[in-house]
Amino acid sequence: MSAAIRLIDGALLTAVSADAAARPRRRANHNFHPADDFPAHRLLNAIEPDSYLPPHRHLDPAKDESIIVLRGELGVLRFDDAGTVLDVWRLSAGGDRVGVDIPHGTWHTVIALQPGTVIFEAKSGPYRPLGDAEKAPWAPAEGDAAAADYWRTLRQRFSDAS
């Protein structure tokens, strides 16, 4: 028996956005892959503007990450090994820049620039929590007292970014 086709429509984007807005971390996933150990991960990720995703990298050579903005606007930052911001990109649904492909080993983070931002994300599975070498040692962890100030400095990069 084959799996049912699932549509990605406005109602689904609205539902996952509402879920994100109601959560303490201000983000929520809607997975299309059936389990964390599945070899291909495809998901919607709804992110609200006040959600902090610490800079990180994926060291597994199979974990390149592709992101396409379906609704709203997303800021993407790339860092060097010391935490210096190398690149800042603004992506928007229906805009000139709608997505990014991030090679494994690249320090990065994303910031929702509009409420209700939803991205489609694809990378290989299985899911594994980030290891210590994949967490940026120069950035505060989520929930750390310094995280809000650090997030604000990153967010300010998008005042003039294109």
DSSP 20-36: HHHSTTSEEEEE-SSST
Instruction: Say how far apart CA 119 and CA 17 lie, in whole Å.
Output: 10
Instruction: Say how far apart CA 125 and CA 35 lie, in whole Å.
Output: 9
Instruction: Say how far apart CA 38 and CA 17 lie, in whole Å.
Output: 24
Domains of the chain: 10-128+135-156 (2.60.120.10)
* Tens digits of residue pLDDT in 138-161: 999 999 999 999 999 999 999 865
pTM of the model: 0.94
* Tens digits of residue pLDDT in 88-140: 999 999 999 999 999 999 999 999 999 999 999 999 999 999 999 999 999 99
What SS3 state is found at 14? helix
